[in-house]
Structure 1
């Protein structure tokens, strides 16, 4: 099994990851946002010297280094002569440094990297590859690896169809904590791409999508069950599709990442599923979902038609196993979601 771990982007955190686990196959982190943005907030923006130092350090432990430049919108800058030259220069520097892989969402970059550079070309989840047809197109553009849109993590018919349609590698994001079929997904990542990419910088009042998504999950906790995460115990169900798995969460601390690495490497976790999910702390600290009580749920999801108003399985499961932390007296106690 090949586990890819997230990394915030500075050497101290990298050292913690490399010394904290021998189960990490690859590390991924954001690049410098002055050239290409990313789909997440940049807590650390390593320059080329820092990327070079950290790549060399990872290679000392036989760990791959992957740089994420997965802006979902460049505002057309990359198609101007100046924009092309700027991005091409940056890709050249990453290649010279010895970076193993570059993750992008822009189709133009996939073809550009494939033709001109000797680095693994990884198609981001922000390319939303959710069908064999899309996978075929991206492979034709030059993709070496496709990170499948987690929205189909529980749709085995589609996953198997994608596996049968392409020869490139596939990677699955295992701990996605976002809304299933989120209506804000495209707009939110476009916002991040501009807010965390090349200027001009946005002077926004607030992140509407973040707070809206947060409120929906708090007010309707069944959405936590519907989120397209994969339990550590269920990795075996995906082995015929891929043996490469990606842990999301490059804005988290190393101890949180290492806890995830251990859980997925051992394919077992005895605790709160929320501890593993890449979701806001406001949610993680509010709900308790016993991971072991989810045993067998994968069998329902493998044959589910994904028509929630007719099924109701996730709603019933949420009412049965989700507990809420409630502040009473001197500490927090757990109460059932439905009492």
Structure 2
């Protein structure tokens, strides 16, 4: 339900009736909550008892944006992962709204990824083609350009893996200290065993071994690189106060040489 683009279908009469029917069925089934990114759907959900959760796909990255979604009817907001390590911004958002604030802990996307919006839209249109009509066919794309570029950038520059705004299991306490205690695990398309391993690591707040094994990132990276999680102890102190001007800072570049190794076949 958290598509970044619905192609205008939701604003047609047929689309409205489809979502109205679907939300009614979810509500009757006793569903706890619905995660959406489209503002129009946030308002539609006001008529139901289910919790309305704003997806990170909505890119809530400021107090102002959070306030807008809360006014529309949001009960909880999963903030944009790009601000995961911006504690000043997280605290400002937390103070600006009354709804729950949640963070996605293990997404392995590039920091400030230039492909993010386009990639989400691609997924949206591929899946929307099937949901809007049983006879509809998804576009016959020749490949996932964004996925391939995402991998190649990090293979050429592994420091991008360290810059990615993931949150270590051991660092959840730093977020609780500023009032954020809602932690979401990414990777529902992965195997059940992988999801369970992630849940165990974050539940126990401890991971021994390769951090990439719990990050929702292309498996090609976890087969290629080893990031020693133990060597990242204390790094959160630097990231919490980082100005995010990488060309001047170079902290992650230096850190990469210490914690990341290429796995020899």
**TM-score by structure 2 length?**
0.96
Is residue 209 of structure 2 the alignment partner of residue 277 of structure 1? no
Counting only pairs closer than 5 Å after superposition, residues 259-298 of structure 1 correspond to structure 2 as 259-298=197-236
Give me the CA root mean square deviation. Answer: 0.8
Is residue 165 of structure 2 the alignment partner of residue 228 of structure 1? yes
The one-character-per-residue Cα deviations of 1:238-278 (angstroms, maximum 9, x if unpaired) are 00231110010001111111111111111111111011100
CA deviation after TM superposition for structure 1 residue 198, in Å: 3.4
1:198 counterpart SS class:
helix
Runs of 4+ in 1 over 6 A off after TM superposition: none
Q: 2:52 aligns with which of 110, 121, 138?
A: 121
1:102 counterpart SS class:
strand
Which structure's residues are more often strand, by fraction? 1
| Structure 1 runs not aligned, ≥5 long | 1-68, 328-339
Q: 1:112 aligns with which of 40, 44, 62?
A: 44
2:263 counterpart SS class:
strand
CA deviation after TM superposition for structure 1 residue 191, in Å: 0.5
1:320 counterpart SS class:
helix
The one-character-per-residue Cα deviations of 1:75-123 (angstroms, maximum 9, x if unpaired) are 1011011111111111111111111100000000001102x11100000
Q: How many Å separate the matches in 2 of 1:100 and 1:312?
A: 44
Alignment correspondent of 1:70: 2
Alignment correspondent of 2:139: 202
Q: How many Å separate the matches in 2 of 1:111 and 1:221?
A: 42
Alignment correspondent of 1:84: 16
Q: How many Å separate the matches in 1 of 2:70 and 2:129?
A: 28
| Structure 2 runs not aligned, ≥5 long | 131-135
**TM-score by structure 1 length?**
0.75
Alignment correspondent of 1:37: none
Is residue 247 of structure 2 the alignment partner of residue 315 of structure 1? no
Which structure's residues are more often helix, by fraction? 2
Alignment correspondent of 1:57: none
Is residue 148 of structure 2 the alignment partner of residue 217 of structure 1? no
1:74 counterpart SS class:
coil
